[in-house]
Amino acid sequence: MVCPLKAYCDYTDDRQEIQSELEDMLADYDIDWKYEDIGNIDLTDLKEEISNAVKERIIAPIRLLVILITVIIFSSFVHGLNNGFLSKSSKMGDMICSLTAAAAILPGLLTAFDHTLNAVSRLSGFMLVFVPVFAGITIASGGAIAGGTYNVLIITASCTFASAADSFFMPVLSIIAALSISGSVFPEHSVDAVITLIKKIVTWSITLFMTFFTGFIGLRTTLAAKTDGAGAKTIKSMISGFVPIVGGAVSDAYSTVKGSFELIASTVGTAGCFAIAVIILPPIIELISFRVVIWISSAAAELFSADPIVKLLKGIDSGLAIAQCVLICYSVMLLICTGIMLMNIS
């Protein structure tokens, strides 16, 4: 009555814009999910999406298993003729069998490595789109420090991982494949120790980086979320105490808007986690399928005393193990960090 002032709260709902952006982002990566369906996605839907992506890739390992078993049986037949007219050419026979096995493995192996690199590149590109959207909504919901920390660290780590996969991991895998072939063709020059050393160095380095980075970002985002929470409470208290007459209503309106953005952030974060799984699981399953084929073939080669082929398969398995470690550590790191953010904003 003394001072005729009016106060009101105007809230513009950008949900439609965010919904359209998220759907376009998922469609770019062949993920057929709508924004309104994200809350109802379960493991069955995830299984269907991954199964559709894996069906075409699972044929190659099965075909490779048949070829390798045939080569191993032929190698055993050659060894059986050592006491006959091939006794002076046993080394030549082993070399031919090893090269035949290598020729059978290499196309599928290079394809699997290419799928690994493509998965890392696609996931890195997806994170460059997803992280700013998710972090922006988190910042809008009051998590300025946590969202900013997540945005900077995740994009930096994602770009670093993608660059390392292109310039370091793939050459290392090619070197291991070459050493495996040369070690099987020339068994007197063993390279098993070198391959094992490379495998241990790479896998341990990736695992330690993933562990320390995940722990670091978990601590940083948790502390930042606590700071943001204290700041939000302070803002609500100041609005309620310093705005005359309608302070309580404005404070409640602020809480409503903040809760709405938290709901949107949770939906977008959940969609991002499912998208990461859909992008990364098919190549991981493909690598596991190839490794199972290699294990079965290696056991068959030992059974038929095809030692050169055993050396070849064990070396190839080391390369596949490194590729699998790269994909698993990269995806787990992103999923855990995103999960921590989802817990902190809820």
One DSSP character per residue, 256-310 reads HHHHHHHHHHHHHHHHHHHHHHHHHHHHHHHHHHHHHHHHHHHHHHHHTT-HHHH
The whole-number pLDDT of residue 12 equals 47
pLDDT band for position 295 (50/70/90)? very high
**Residue-wise pLDDT tens digits, 268-285:** 777 778 778 888 888 888
Residue 225 has pLDDT above 80, yes or no: no
Burial of 147 (0-12, 13-18, 19+ CB in 10 A): buried
Least confident interval from 43-47, 106-110, 206-210, 220-224 = 43-47
| 20: its two tokens | 């359209």
| pLDDT confidence of residue 64 | 86
Q: Using the 8-state DSSP alphabet, how is residue 12 labeled?
A: -
Average pLDDT, the chain: 75
Give the Cβ contact number of residue 204 at 10 Å. Answer: 11
Place of tokens 């105490």: 241
Of 11-15, 58-62, 81-85, where does mean pLDDT reach its minimum?
Answer: 11-15
pLDDT digits (tens, 9 = 90+) for 197-206: 888 898 888 8
43, burial (CB in 10 Å: exposed 0-12, middle 13-18, buried 19+) = exposed
Residue type, 314: K
- pTM value > 0.85: no
At residue 292, the pLDDT reads 92
Helix (H), strand (E), coil (C) string for 34-72: CHHHHHHCCHHHHHHHHHHHHCCCCHHHHHHHHHHHHHH
Question: What is the residue extent of each domain of the chain?
Answer: 43-79+89-345
**SS3 assignment, position 212:** helix
Is residue 54 predicted with pLDDT exceeding 50? yes
Percent of the chain with pLDDT over 70: 66
Burial class (CB in 10 A: 0-12, 13-18, 19+), 129: middle
